[in-house]
Amino acid sequence: EAALSALPQTGEREVETALRPRLLADFVGQPRVREQLSLVLESARKRGVPPDHVLLSGPPGLGKTSMAMIIAAELGASIRITSGPALERAGDLAAMLSNLAEGDVLFIDEIHRIARPAEEMLYLAMEDFRVDVVVGKGPGATSIPLEIAPFTLVGATTRSGALTGPLRDRFGFTGQMEFYTPEELEQVVQRSADLLGISVDPQGRAEIARRSRGTPRIANRLLRRVRDYAEVRADGTGTLDVVRAALAVYDVDELGLDRLDRAVLAALVRSFGGGPVGVSTLAVAVGEEPTTVEEVCEPYLVRAGMLARTPRGRVATAAAWEHLGLQAPADVTG
């Protein structure tokens, strides 16, 4: 069984689509981003122009894609969806841009992974609604300017720090998505349980929420694993006992940490004496990509007060040692 990371897994896309909130009012949590966005959208609507380009930043599974779809829905616009890694050649982006209709929303997921030539094309498109298409090669190459319809770009990134300055500057608004509180996640679980016809009692709901790493995607996934367990080993209802038993089967611990989270902490503490250690070294020790450790694991471990990022590397806090059932050395704080 793979770790219950926040990355979508195969077969999950359909359920995710069914569970996505459709309008700003259905979107649980993120009060700051919601308020800021609703002002941006309302003001654009009043002025009768497409709103400024929007960058949504935060760890996986917090609702960036859902929010992009909501922006389009609130504007009554169509949305086109692509991702940074899919835009390898500038031509791919040019094709996408020239197919936009006025007022469309273009969503680029993982925008920090866009290739350089496409990124440079995007600058002009975002600023002047124009692209320069280069025809031919070498000294005979000419560039043909092409008008594109005024559109709104919504970019999503798990690493806003990895965006180049010029790209970041072209977004009129950046929404920083935060981890959800257990109370907000309870609402997410309730809503999903209603939509999927799953029965969970209030204590079971609170337990799922508490163990979802602050992440709605994980809350929804745990809810489905609880449903499986409840149907096979119990009477179908997710009570507190059923939730606890189900999450034990899937290696989700008391704090909601999954296998990979715990592997990272264990390596940090056992192999590197609690750090500091560089993220690449840590990633090799757990057999993962550094980007996965950095973008999927670490944000929650930091937020949970288990891991600190220092200029010299990653450091385990006293809480991390304690969580692993170990005695922290005397000089470890936090």
Which residues are known to be catalytic? 64-65, 109, 158, 217
CB of 173 to ligand ADP, least distance (A): 17
Residue 32, annotated ligand binder?
A: no
Distance CA 213, CA 188 (A): 13
DSSP 8-state assignment for residue 101:
P
Binding site for ligand ADP (CB under 6 A): 16, 19-21, 27-29, 60-66, 156, 188, 216-217, 220
Residue 7 CB, nearest approach to ligand ADP (Å): 8
Mind spelling out the 3-state secondary structure of 248-290? HHCCCCCCCCCHHHHHHHHHHHHHCCCCCECHHHHHHHHCCCH
Place of tokens 């690493």: 159
Decide whether 177 or 282 has the Cβ nearer to ligand ADP: 177
User: Rounded to an integer, what is the distance from CA 117 to the centroid of its chain?
Assistant: 25
Structure tokens given for 73:
């829905």
Residue 129 is assigned to a ligand binding site: yes
Q: Is 288 annotated as a binding residue?
A: no
Contact assessment for residue 258 and residue 297, using Cβ atoms and an 8 Å cutoff:
no
Q: Shortest gap between Cβ of 196 and ligand ADP (angstroms)?
A: 11
CA distance 303 to 214: 9
Nearer to ligand ADP, 96 or 193 (CB): 193
Closer by beta carbon to ligand ADP, 58 or else 275: 58
Q: Give CB contacts under 8 A, 24+ apart, made by 190-194.
A: 191/19, 191/21, 191/26, 191/28, 192/19, 192/219, 192/220, 192/223, 193/223, 193/238
Q: Alpha-carbon distance 210 to 201, whole Å?
A: 14
Report the nearest approach of ligand ADP to the CB of residue 58 (Å). 6
Question: 27 vs 179, which CB is nearer to ligand ADP?
Answer: 27
Consult the annotation and say whether 225 binds a ligand. Answer: no
* d(C-alpha 303, C-alpha 282), whole Å: 19
Smallest gap from residue 106 Cβ to ligand ADP (A): 15
What 3-state DSSP class applies to 186? helix
Residue nearest ligand ADP (C-beta atom): 63
Q: Say whether 160 counts as a known binding-site residue.
A: no
> Which CB sits closer to ligand ADP, 18 or 101?
18
205 has binding-site annotation? no
Q: Is 128 annotated as a binding residue?
A: yes
Which helix (H) or strand (E) element contains residue 144?
strand 142-147
The answer to whether 123 is a known ligand-binding residue is no
Q: Please, what is the minimum distance in Å from the beta carbon of residue 66 to ligand ADP?
A: 3
The conformational region for residue 59 under phi > 0 = left, psi -120 to 50 = alpha, else beta, is beta
d(CA 23, CA 301): 31
Radius of gyration of the chain (CA): 22
Instruction: Considering the complex, state which of residue 28 and residue 106 has its C-beta at the smaller distance from ligand ADP.
Output: 28
Which residues participate in the annotated binding site? 19-20, 61, 64-66, 127-129, 170, 180, 217, 309, 314
Which residues participate in the annotated binding site for ATP? 19-20, 61, 64-66, 127-129, 170, 180, 217
Which residues participate in the annotated binding site for DNA? 309, 314
